[in-house]
Structure 1
Amino acid sequence: MTDRIPASDYAQLLLSDTPMIDLRAPIEFTKGAFPGSVSLPLMSDSERAAIGTCYKQQGQQAAIDLGHQLVSGAVKQARIDAWLAQIQRQPDTVLYCFRGGMRSQITQQWLREAGVNRPYVEGGYKAMRSYLIAQTDRLTQTADMVIVGGMTGCGKTDFLTPRADSVDLEGLANHRGSSFGRQLTEQPSQINFENTLALALMRHQARGATQLILEDESRLIGRCSLPLEMHERMAQAPRVILEISTEARIEQILKDYVTDMQAAFIARDGLEAGHQAFSEHLLASLSRVKKRLGPVRYQALNDIMVKALQLQLSRGALDGHRDWIAQLLTEYYDPMYHYQLEKKPTKPLFQGPPAAVAEFLDQRL
């Protein structure tokens, strides 16, 4: 077994879901890491900061000496034990630090002394991150991209999910894309979003898909930002449009943002606390478009929503939610959709109900 994983093996390393030990300090890991990696740092944040200061003031050798002093004895053994436990759980685990330098080499040496040989990633986090950025740029610029659009509530995500030739941008961002799109769990960091996006595009190519189907998105999906070059490419790509009735759209939104979300909050927090948290979530979602709605229209919708939430809790009735959804669609989302559609540079390739759009995409190539 070689002691290093070269850059030529990055694709295989990432596509095979090889487990990785991230040796960087916790603060570095929190900003961004790779899928499948676990944070088991060689140094804590404070140790890393102290060594960095020593390096600037006294030079490399003094910093190395301080590192060995700080990470020694029981502290050193505890970290070795954590690495060994991870490798025992997943024997194919590999190591990486920021540049594939001293932290990786020291860890590898200590593991060897403990009787275990594991390779580290040459170039480390920095090189592999650059590789993923380049993959996103290459794959989005060369792919036969098709964008799926449609009015709010037409079920674009549900349409794309089963397709092997699609990549779920909202799933990667953990956000449904609209003012009501926040999920119970936090969105990934921007770097983690970009890393998982690159990997999803690589997997798409590895599946042999001949076209890349993406949902029509703003550049921001919640707080996650699509790479600029990718979003510009999406804006110029051919489009297909899903068309369903207003009634069906209301039912889709009711399911996505009311019944499913309420159930998720209740599953997490219990009936009373869950409904309260869900109510606050829904009212906060409406408040995020208050400025665009204007104070009068916002207050009217807010009042309808409050009553709808009360009826939902007391009787399980949902018609009140249908009322505010219908008004929000006709008075806000639909006019905005038509305005944005007029600015598109080209007409859609095809538009129709989901089954017809699916057949068109299947027969396109």
Structure 2
Amino acid sequence: MKEVEAGEFLKRSREYPVVDTRSPAEFACGHIPGAINLPLFDNSERKIIGTLYKQQGQKAAIKVGLTIAGPKMAGFIEQVEALHSQNVLIHCWRGGMRSHSMAWLLELYGFDVWIFKGGYKAYRNALLDYFKNPLPLRVIAGSTGSMKTALLKKLREMEEQVVDLEGLANHPGSSFGNQVSTGQPSTEQFQNNLFAEFFSMNPLRPIWLEDESFSIGKVHLVEGLYRAMQESPHYLVLLPWKQRIAVLLQEYGQIPKEKLIQAIQGIAKKLGTVLANQAIHSVETGDLAKAAEIILNYYDRAYSKGIQRKQDLVLGPFHVNAENMEETATKLIHYRQ
């Protein structure tokens, strides 16, 4: 077996399966994207071993650990055989006994094994360090309903490097995004997925993403990435008011009335009692376009304040051609300051 640092481990993970020997609970909180959970101990067993280690020491914990893991060994081998790879990458929390024990077993059986030196903890440190470095970010900015997500999709189709923050967060932003999201990953897993996306890209080419706040729904960006976004060029896109209303009706118009009202109530303090009540009344009477107008006015004022603070970074504006998104995307790609 061989121990490798984070960079080599992550590069090899593009070719070979990654086996995470931590408990299911640890894995659920956050894991390397694409990793397979093959826990040496389940959640309750890990607790027993941990308590025993603290109270009676390492040797006592090892004996009980062997008693628990011993009957599982053949099953571990069979599960790794099902991955159809002679080469296997393994890690635990800190690159300690769990990963080394599994590596010993698999190597004994004939697999070629690499252990992640420092384990998942080292992976998280590598993630944080990565986002401290300069990144060639290109931020698409624009008011709510300006088709920024559609523009990112077109850029990706044109083989540009794109990171869809809202897609990875499984949340389209805003209070209304809560009503269409089917569930978000943990913040830790969201950040891991972000890292995987960025790590796979060419750092010498532009990376396009959408202007976002630090939080997207219930998950948070990596602080280093958020700071880099605030310091990167912002490409301001504009779409006519009526078209923006149409975009919002298409995105959110099928949400049940009670959920739309719940979303309005979520921003009622910021919107103001009078306007919130007017928007709710519009939803109740079926005038969704009127409700969208009221809400857009609020979001536009808030966004205008935010973009003014970054005025020195703003390029454009670029008028979105909803009928020909490739035309708009081409303008962004070839724009020269």
Cα shift readout 1:102-135 (whole Å, capped 9, x = no counterpart): 1112122333455545433232211122122222
Q: Give the one of 155, 167, 172 matched to 1:176.
A: 172
2:199 aligned to 198, 202, 213, which one? 202
Give the residue type in structure 1 aligned to 2:164.
D
Match of 2:19 in 1: 21
Partner SS, residue 351 of structure 1: strand
Q: For each residue in 1:149-169, what CA deviation from the matched residue of structure 2 results, as whole angstroms up to 9, or x when unmatched?
A: 111100111111232233211
Q: Secondary structure at the match of 2:82?
A: helix
Selected match of 2:225 from 223, 226, 230: 230
- Contact map agreement 2:17 2:83 (CA 8 A) in 1: no
Asked if 1:62 corresponds to 2:60, the answer is yes
Give the CA deviation at 1:241: 0.9
Number of aligned residue pairs: give it. Answer: 325
Gap change, CA 1:240 and 1:6, over 3 Å in 2: closer
| Corresponding residue number in structure 1 for 2:335 | 364
Whichever residue aligns with residue 301 of structure 2, its letter is: P
Q: Which runs of 5+ in 2 are unaligned?
A: 322-326
1:294 matched residue in structure 2 = 272
Q: Contact 2:235/2:317 (CA < 8 Å) preserved in 1?
A: yes
Q: After superposing the two structures, state which structure 1 stretch, 58-67 or 165-174, moved more.
A: 165-174
Contact 1:10 1:128 in 2 (8 A): no
- Alpha-carbon distance in 2 for matches of 1:229, 1:115: 42
Quote how far apart the aligned CAs of 1:66 are: 1.5
Paired position in structure 2 for 1:185? 182
Looking at structure 1, the residues matched to 33 and 151 of structure 2 have their Cα atoms a distance apart, in angstroms, of 26
Structural mapping, 1:230-249, within 5 Å: 230-249=225-244
Structure 1, 162-171 or 278-287: larger mean CA deviation: 278-287
SS at match of 2:161: coil
Alignment of 1:314-333 (within 5 A): 320-330=287-297, 332-333=298-299
Correspondence for 2:163: 167
State the alpha-carbon separation in 2 of the partners of residues 37 and 341 from structure 1: 39
Report if aligned partners of 2:18, 2:34 keep a CA contact under 8 Å in 1: yes
Quote the residue 2:81 is aligned against: 87
- State whether residues 100 and 124 of structure 1, in contact with CA within 8 Å, keep that contact through their aligned partners in structure 2: yes
| Cα distance between partner residues in 2 of 1:205 and 1:3 | 28
Query: Structure 1 residue 304: deviation in Å?
Result: 1.9
Q: Structure 1: which 5+ runs fail to align?
A: 263-277, 309-319
Give the secondary-structure state (helix, strand or coil) at the position aligned to 1:89.
coil
Query: How far did residue 3 of structure 1 move?
Result: 4.1
Sort the Cα spacing of 1:255 and 1:86 in 2 relative to 1 into closer, same or farther, 3 A: farther
1:187 partner SS = coil
2:24–2:42 CA contact under 8 A, matched in 1: yes
Question: 2:144 aligns to what?
Answer: 152
| Partner residue of 1:341 out of 289, 307, 329 | 307
In structure 2, C-alpha distance between the alignment counterparts of 1:327 and 1:146, rounded to whole Å: 31
- For 2:260 and 2:37, the matched residues in 1 are separated by 35
Specify the alignment match of 1:275 in structure 2. none
> What is the SS of the residue equivalent to 1:119?
strand
Structure number with higher helix proportion: 1
For residue 86 of structure 1, report the CA deviation from its aligned partner: 4.3
**Structure 1 segment 27-176 matched on structure 2, within 5 A:** 27-73=25-71, 76-77=72-73, 80-91=74-85, 92-114=87-109, 116-138=111-133, 142-163=134-155, 164-176=160-172
- For normalisation by structure 1, the TM-score amounts to 0.81
Q: TM-score, length-normalised on structure 2? A: 0.87
Cα distance between partner residues in 1 of 2:283 and 2:209: 32
Distance 1:326 1:7, change over 3 A: closer
Instruction: Assess if the C-alpha contact under 8 Å between 1:236 and 1:345 holds in 2.
Output: no
Residues 135 and 228, structure 2, Cα contact 8 Å, conserved in 1? no
